[in-house]
């Protein structure tokens, strides 16, 4: 199955698991990905750039937005033992894999994956980490970000990786216009790492 359908709520392709092993912020992660979920069997380039160009969070309430099989949220939970991570994805398979991977990584007590509707409406987050699903289209992406970025606690930040050729620079401007001042903190392999603050 091609990646452009990974944001389906219930992928129709047969479910096959595939292992992913990677090192993030000095920690070895052994995870399981799956068909019908973004980046089956690999750590995608954008997410690898995100990890390489940032320092891990130190704790707090963290949202992994569009979590896929959970690699960003789990990396945050492993690197920051005081972090409480909420991982969300519309893809039911992604939610299943993220929860399984959290359990195998020993962080299931601090990471919960669910579909967005299951997150408490009043939940706030100190940090949002994401490789957002740009390919859902600009209108849907803007709606997604305007749903979750306002849930940043005062002084909170969002850290996102976006392909330059997928509109990273225009997205940076748009975020600023929405009241989330955004700076480019890194650029590598055709990707931008953006950091947005709650004004």
The pLDDT of residue 59: 96
Residue 58, Cβ neighbours under 10 Å: how many?
A: 12
152 pLDDT exceeds 90?
yes
The domain total for the chain is: 1
Q: What percent of the chain has pLDDT over 90?
A: 80
7 pLDDT exceeds 90?
no
Q: For residues 155-183, give the mean pLDDT.
A: 96
Q: Output the pTM of the full model.
A: 0.92
Identify the bridge partners of residue 130 per DSSP, sorted by sequence position: 65, 160
The residue among 110, 111, 160, 108 whose CA lies nearest residue 134 is 160
* Structural domain range at position 29: 3-197
DSSP label at residue 141 = H
* Three-state secondary structure call for residue 108: coil
Say how far apart CA 33 and CA 50 lie, in whole Å.
Answer: 19
2 pLDDT exceeds 70?
no
Q: Are 107 and 77 in contact (CB under 8 A)?
A: yes
Structure tokens, 90: 């519309």
Q: For residues 43-47, give the mean pLDDT.
A: 94
Most distant pair of Cα atoms in the chain: their distance: 44
Q: For residues 154-168, give the mean pLDDT.
A: 95
Residue 121, Cβ neighbours under 10 Å: how many?
A: 6
CATH of the domain at 7: 3.40.50.150
Residue 190, Cβ neighbours under 10 Å: how many?
A: 13
Q: List pLDDT tens digits, range 75-122.
A: 999 999 999 999 999 999 999 999 999 999 999 999 999 999 999 999
The pLDDT of residue 8: 52
């Amino acid at each position: 199955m091609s990646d452009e359908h990974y944001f389906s709520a219930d992928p129709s392709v047969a479910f096959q698991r595939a292992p992913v092993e990677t090192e993030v912020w000095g920690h070895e992660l052994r995870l399981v990905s799956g068909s019908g979920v973004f980046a089956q069997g690999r750590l995608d380039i954008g997410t690898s750039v995100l990890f390489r160009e940032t320092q891990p969070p130190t704790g707090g309430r963290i949202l992994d937005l569009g979590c896929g099989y959970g690699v960003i949220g789990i990396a945050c939970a492993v690197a920051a033992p005081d972090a409480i991570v909420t991982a969300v994805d519309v893809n039911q398979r992604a939610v299943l894999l993220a929860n399984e991977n959290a359990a195998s990584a020993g962080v299931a007590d601090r990471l919960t994956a669910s579909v967005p509707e299951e997150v408490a409406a009043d939940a706030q987050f100190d940090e949002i980490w994401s490789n957002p699903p740009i390919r859902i289209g600009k209108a849907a992406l803007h709606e997604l970000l305007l749903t979750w970025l306002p849930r940043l606690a005062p002084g909170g930040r969002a850290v996102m990786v976006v392909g330059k050729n997928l509109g990273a620079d225009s997205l940076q401007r748009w975020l600023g216009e929405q009241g989330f001042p955004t700076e480019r903190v890194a650029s590598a392999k055709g990707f931008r790492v953006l950091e947005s603050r709650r004004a």
